[in-house]
Structure 1
Amino acid sequence: MSIQTWTYIIVGITFALYLGIAWASRVKDTKGFYVAGGGVPPIANGLATAADWMSAASFLSMAGLISFMGYSGCIYLMGWTGGYVLLALLLAPYLRKFGKFTVPDFVGDRYYSTAARVVALVCAIFVSFTYVAGQMRGVGIVFSRFLGVDVETGVVIGMVIVFLYSGLGGMKGITWTQVAQYCVLILAFIIPAIAISMKITGSPVPQLGFGGTVAEGPHAGRFLLETLDQINTDLGFAAYTSAFGAGSKPMIDVLAMTLCLMAGTAGLPHVIIRFYTVPSVRGARISAFYALLFIGILYTTAPAIAGFARYNFVDSLNGKPYATVPSWFKNWESTGLVAWVDKNGDGVMQYRAGAPFPGKPAFTGQKGDLGQMLVSNTPTDNGNELYVDADIIVLANPEIANLPPWVVALVAAGGLAAALSTASGLLLVIASSISHDLYYRIINRKATERQRLLLGRIMIGVAVIIAGLFGIYPPGFVAQVVALAFGLASSSFFPVLLLGIFWKKANKPGAISGMIAGMGFTLLYIVQTKFMGMAPWFLGVSPEGIGAVGMCVNLAVTVIVSLCTAPPPAAVQEMVESVRIPRGAGAAVDH
């Protein structure tokens, strides 16, 4: 059977599974809708958290970025995994002990302020919509290549699926769907990694194959990483394993991006809310351990996939006549995510450092986008004739390695599982921010369970439509967009959560001022450097790393303003003490 037929079969089976789970998990009360009734077993919550957190950026883009950036791409590995450790140790157990539904719930009660709650829910909505843009673009990429439909149609299909299982079951349906989605995405990631590792290095363990030797061909007997260094330098790139040298990111930017991703991970509302779904503080700690274990399986495999893809990609294209180009290239060429421009008219594909043409096209789902870009721009004279979008590397890797069609289809299903699992968690954050934090906690305290549940489902529908528009008109690369979301999360939530748990004197004016200052600075810098053409003006820190500076601004403003204004009420300080003092094995206490 063809790749497309296999894709229809496997994707169809997984979608039917997700909808079946959602129907079986449908809820009729707000506790089930927002926190799955608070009774999810720790191992199931660990699986769901891993799926919720490992988005399209982790599945689709991270290995692609490492493949092209080499050592510098490990920023994403270090930042995202390190941030999860911060979340598990510093925030998750204490927030679970607090026992509410959402992050704005904690901020509003801890800082005894409706204004603080409003600022927090605005930050939650802004971060979630920024993040969901990357997920819907991931859905569009998969559909455009593997299911033979345009991106708009693919995004609409994804919107319908995620609305049905999110709206029916709320957090309960999302949780058990994400358990299934983790199983799908991890199999889709690991199976081709094992197969490709066997083909290149002879090792069935990708992590060992990545550090092993090439089994056959002109590089047989040489270490794979040594070979990649030579390939890169021969093509004019920095050595694959080099750090902070020519062609690599400066050390200050690497540090800023890593800190930003760490703090952003610990401040992501859709991940934090997962720890409200377990029955106890002890359950929160255990589920955090499981989640880190399940996340580690994918994250230790990603560098190996990146290295294998780099090796196969260059070997299959560079110096080859276009007339004999492998079928995978022409398949992806139709999506506009890879392109070749014959600068010297010799019909041979040449891959070198640098862009083949000025600028970088924004892929909107129209297959002619990149072709129009090539027509309307004079090619550069740097010798590079190939354009390859980093987002396709994981999806194209099985085709590049000539794996069976069912493996290619499984990877497509895995990419959809990663994008949809995170999208559903983000959509619930948006819906709960409006229906619970805004409507119930501020506007109408007398709202019935039925009214709150109905509004929550309506808001999921509204959020799905807006997210779909982001998928059709994406603002950038999946991992880059997600990195910006992490910047906004690190500069808004992480400082006020950290201080709210560990510093009794953090007060209402400090928290409000800190969130506005931190997120305002970060957002302004991103707009200036991303959309207004300004060069990075703060020590050369890129917009993807500026959230670390925004976090420091937030911390400083919160501390200074808190010290200059009245301390929190005694009842709030007592609440902080009771939340912080570990009574880990018992059931969580609501305050």
Structure 2
Amino acid sequence: MAGRDGFARRLLRNYLIYAVVFVALLVALAVGERHGLSEATIGMVFLFGTVGIYAGIGVASRTSDLNEYYVAGRRVPAVFNGMATAADWMSAASFIGLAGSLYFSGFEGLAFVTGWTGGFVLVALLLAPYLRRFGQYTIPDFLGARYEGHVVRIVGLAAAVLASFVYLVAQIYGVGLVTSRFVSVEFEIGLFIGLAGILVCSFLGGMRAITWTQVAQYLVLIVAYLVPVTMLAYKSTGVPVPQLMYGPVMEKLSEREGELIWDWREAEARELYRQRAEDYVQRIAGLPESLETERRERAAELKALLARDAPAREIVQLERALRDIPPTPEAAREAWSEARDEALRRAEVPNRFAQAHPGVLPEQEAESRNNFIALVFVLMIGTAALPHILARYYTTPGVTQTRSSVFWTLFFILMLYLAAPAYAVFAKWEVYSNVVGTEISALPSWVASWGKVGMVRFEDINGDGILQLAELWLNTDAIVLATPEIAGLPYVVAGLVAAGGLAAALSTADGLLLTISNSLSHDLYFRVMRPSAPSHRRLLMSKSALLLVAIAAAWVASLRPDNILFLVGLAFSLAASAFFPALVLGIFWQRANRAGAIAGMLSGLALTMFYVMRTHPFFGGDAANAWFGIRPISAGAFGVVLGFAVIVVVSLLTPAPSPAATSFVRRVRSPESDEPDDASLH
């Protein structure tokens, strides 16, 4: 015990020194900016300085010991494991996407805050202590031991890899987004710069390196989140306590929303977008003739411009328009359908920020309420089933520390989540009061800079030279990253936010990469293929898998998939439907058997994937196919229910588990011992 206390004190001292140095760096950069330090230099310092620190921790924590590589030697104190888990948990979706979702969805976005925080209550009550009592390394490891077989282990492995890979792509996409904006490089180059940082943190030291790196990353991301929102609160209200002061600003925002809803210029712009949508409907109905007609008309316009020696700018624009015409009727149908949907969204009267379950008709309100409840449900269950989060609770010294660790995780997460609604309110107030209604010729520079990376778009559809709300498009992921510039804060704050977003994405990406590689090397290679493999060969396989998975995820992220928040929601749905029923019933119901677990996991996962492909446009689906109006991000709600039902029914219809499995459940259900006898469970 004295050794543990001394270790914890050394950690506390080292991270206090690190925090002081980081704050000193912030002050130095702020002073430098006032004396002419360029924005490019500030961005470089934040990016390469923080990544360099993480890499240094990763190199210093290198290890060839299996226990250290897989579970950090099971000696991480509860407070530090809570901080590392919070960093592992608060991905690019939380840091970059959560405030953006609240910005656009208002009350409806609180489903993310409620679901994600509530999920850790389930972790503390239903899973973490029992998994720690089990010991070992991975979630498929638990499934294989509880349900006695390699088949259920492989099903768990496949589900862990699938859910974690989808989540990983979102994080690497976030890395590319941040680096491309703040180092002024192409998105793909920024993506691979960030990938190098991810690999250096995790490749040499596994869970040991990731744990201590994530503690450092949490300190960066929480400072990066709280500093700008505190400055926004002070700028708007004169009181630097955003969690308490965003209420009065929300009242002013509601008044401004009312003005914009009834403004005649806004109504004119919305009507023009509605007419545009109708035009696309007619074009789609007229295919393939409408495609040929458009091509002929554009060619004739270009010929006329060339004949009258028009300005080069007009000619270039028309040449680009001609080049962008879809090559085939199928491509035209897809492109025009997307343009129609975008025009319809802009033509809608925006929902009020504070309105709960918006909808003009009673059935629309009911559908909105159903989606809110389904999303909260999926996020709670998904939180309690994410393999890379559950694996963190293998790293504490004992069961008591695991319970404390969950408490500290919730505490550190709430520091950010309580500020997210304030961030959304202050950001929206800045845009609605200082950007919307501005002359387009006088728009601030951030519009152009963020437009270059595809995060901001606008057009003057009614030609009045003034930017209407309907004419402005902001990507959800741009709200946090761009708000410091939108609000006119010093650029050092924008650089700090970028460093925080990068820390959030890197920390989660490291945990996900390690989860995938450890599952492949431990559960597939060691448990199934080569049970006699020596330690050095298992480490080699884990590192090789880590490298290959990282490259594959970076390639998928370079294709710029859907927004970060949807990818993360999909990962939660997959994890929830695949793992939660099998884990909970495996711990609390002795009658659950191998056949039931396999059938339940496969059926829940299959239904979730089917529903997403049936309803999401990215997979060729249509939202009209939704059941009860539930959006694809909440597809796991159906998979979880089916998974529980199938496990129960199949288990009751097939032979009971062996006495060894029953004994396993009894031992795991007795987590009072602070030193789990891991070997006795195998």
TM-score (norm 2): 0.79
Structure 1 position 306 matched with structure 2 position 395: no
Match of 1:107 in 2: 143
Q: Choose 575-584 or 442-451, whichever is displaced more.
A: 575-584
Structure 1 position 570 matched with structure 2 position 656: no
Q: Is the 8 A contact 1:133 1:474 kept in 2?
A: no
Aligned counterparts of 2:581 and 2:56: Cα–Cα separation in 1: 40
Structure 1 position 533 matched with structure 2 position 636: no
Match of 1:237 in 2: 350
Aligned counterparts of 2:552 and 2:434: Cα–Cα separation in 1: 40
Structure 1 position 335 matched with structure 2 position 423: no
Structure 1 position 492 matched with structure 2 position 492: no
Match of 1:273 in 2: 391
Pairing of 1:61-80 with structure 2 (within 5 A): 61-80=97-116
SS at match of 1:474: coil
Which residue type is aligned with residue 457 of structure 2?
A: A
Structure 1 position 387 matched with structure 2 position 481: no
Match of 2:608 in 1: 522
Q: CA deviation at 1:191?
A: 0.4
Pairing of 1:38-49 with structure 2 (within 5 A): 38-49=74-85
- In structure 2, relative to structure 1, the CA distance for the partners of 1:150 and 1:559 (3 Å cut) is same
Q: Is the 8 A contact 1:281 1:588 kept in 2?
A: no
Aligned counterparts of 1:14 and 1:537: Cα–Cα separation in 2: 44
Match of 1:409 in 2: 495
Q: CA RMSD in A?
A: 1.5
Task: State which of 225, 230, 253 in structure 2 corresponds to 1:189.
Answer: 225
Pairing of 1:77-92 with structure 2 (within 5 A): 77-92=113-128
Q: Deviations over 1:424-459 (max 9, x none)?
A: 100001101110000000000110000001111111
Q: Choose 85-94 or 298-307, whichever is displaced more.
A: 85-94
Match of 1:53 in 2: 89
SS at match of 1:349: coil
Structure 1 position 429 matched with structure 2 position 515: yes
Aligned counterparts of 2:423 and 2:98: Cα–Cα separation in 1: 10
SS at match of 2:488: coil
Q: Is the 8 A contact 1:83 1:263 kept in 2?
A: yes
Match of 1:257 in 2: 375
Which residue type is aligned with residue 301 of structure 1?
A: A
Q: CA deviation at 1:245?
A: 2.6
Aligned counterparts of 1:387 and 1:402: Cα–Cα separation in 2: 20
- In structure 2, relative to structure 1, the CA distance for the partners of 1:141 and 1:231 (3 Å cut) is farther
Kindly tell me the number of residue pairs found equivalent between the two proteins: 551
Q: Choose 81-90 or 500-509, whichever is displaced more.
A: 81-90
SS at match of 1:504: coil
Aligned counterparts of 1:461 and 1:538: Cα–Cα separation in 2: 40
Q: CA deviation at 1:582?
A: 3.6
Which residue type is aligned with residue 583 of structure 2?
A: L
| Structure with higher helix content | 2
- In structure 2, relative to structure 1, the CA distance for the partners of 1:123 and 1:153 (3 Å cut) is same
Aligned counterparts of 1:562 and 1:229: Cα–Cα separation in 2: 55
Aligned counterparts of 2:581 and 2:620: Cα–Cα separation in 1: 28
Q: CA deviation at 1:33?
A: 1.1
SS at match of 2:561: coil
SS at match of 1:538: coil
Pairing of 1:502-513 with structure 2 (within 5 A): 502-513=588-599
Aligned counterparts of 1:295 and 1:537: Cα–Cα separation in 2: 33
SS at match of 2:531: coil
Q: Deviations over 1:512-557 (max 9, x none)?
A: 0000000000001111211123323321111111201110000000
SS at match of 2:567: helix
- In structure 2, relative to structure 1, the CA distance for the partners of 1:568 and 1:224 (3 Å cut) is farther
Q: CA deviation at 1:567?
A: 0.9
Stretches of structure 2 that go unaligned for 5 or more consecutive residues are 1-36, 267-348
Q: Is the 8 A contact 1:210 1:225 kept in 2?
A: no
Aligned counterparts of 1:233 and 1:300: Cα–Cα separation in 2: 29
Structure 1 position 199 matched with structure 2 position 235: yes
Which residue type is aligned with residue 397 of structure 2?
A: P
Aligned counterparts of 1:583 and 1:228: Cα–Cα separation in 2: 56
Aligned counterparts of 1:233 and 1:112: Cα–Cα separation in 2: 61
Task: State which of 203, 211, 215 in structure 2 corresponds to 1:175.
Answer: 211
Q: Deviations over 1:393-450 (max 9, x none)?
A: 0001111111111111000000000001000100001101110000000000110000
- In structure 2, relative to structure 1, the CA distance for the partners of 1:20 and 1:559 (3 Å cut) is same
SS at match of 1:544: helix
Q: Is the 8 A contact 2:107 2:357 kept in 1?
A: no
Q: CA deviation at 1:350?
A: 1.1
Aligned counterparts of 2:203 and 2:136: Cα–Cα separation in 1: 21
Aligned counterparts of 1:589 and 1:141: Cα–Cα separation in 2: 43
Structure 1 position 396 matched with structure 2 position 501: no
Q: Is the 8 A contact 1:279 1:587 kept in 2?
A: no
Match of 1:157 in 2: 193
Q: Is the 8 A contact 2:134 2:676 kept in 1?
A: no
Q: Is the 8 A contact 1:3 1:408 kept in 2?
A: no
Q: Deviations over 1:444-499 (max 9, x none)?
A: 01100000011111111001101111221132000111001000011101110110
- In structure 2, relative to structure 1, the CA distance for the partners of 1:232 and 1:238 (3 Å cut) is farther
Match of 1:123 in 2: 159
Q: Is the 8 A contact 2:256 2:433 kept in 1?
A: no
Q: CA deviation at 1:347?
A: 2.1
SS at match of 1:339: strand
Match of 1:10 in 2: 46
Match of 2:251 in 1: 223
Which residue type is aligned with residue 137 of structure 1?
A: Y
SS at match of 2:457: strand
Stretches of structure 1 that go unaligned for 5 or more consecutive residues are 215-221, 352-383
SS at match of 1:250: helix
- In structure 2, relative to structure 1, the CA distance for the partners of 1:228 and 1:497 (3 Å cut) is farther
- In structure 2, relative to structure 1, the CA distance for the partners of 1:350 and 1:163 (3 Å cut) is same
Aligned counterparts of 1:225 and 1:332: Cα–Cα separation in 2: 24
Match of 2:332 in 1: none
Q: Deviations over 1:380-404 (max 9, x none)?
A: xxxx212110100000111111111
Structure 1 position 292 matched with structure 2 position 380: no
Q: CA deviation at 1:228?
A: 6.0
User: For the pair shown, which has the larger CA radius of gyration, 1 or 2?
Assistant: 2
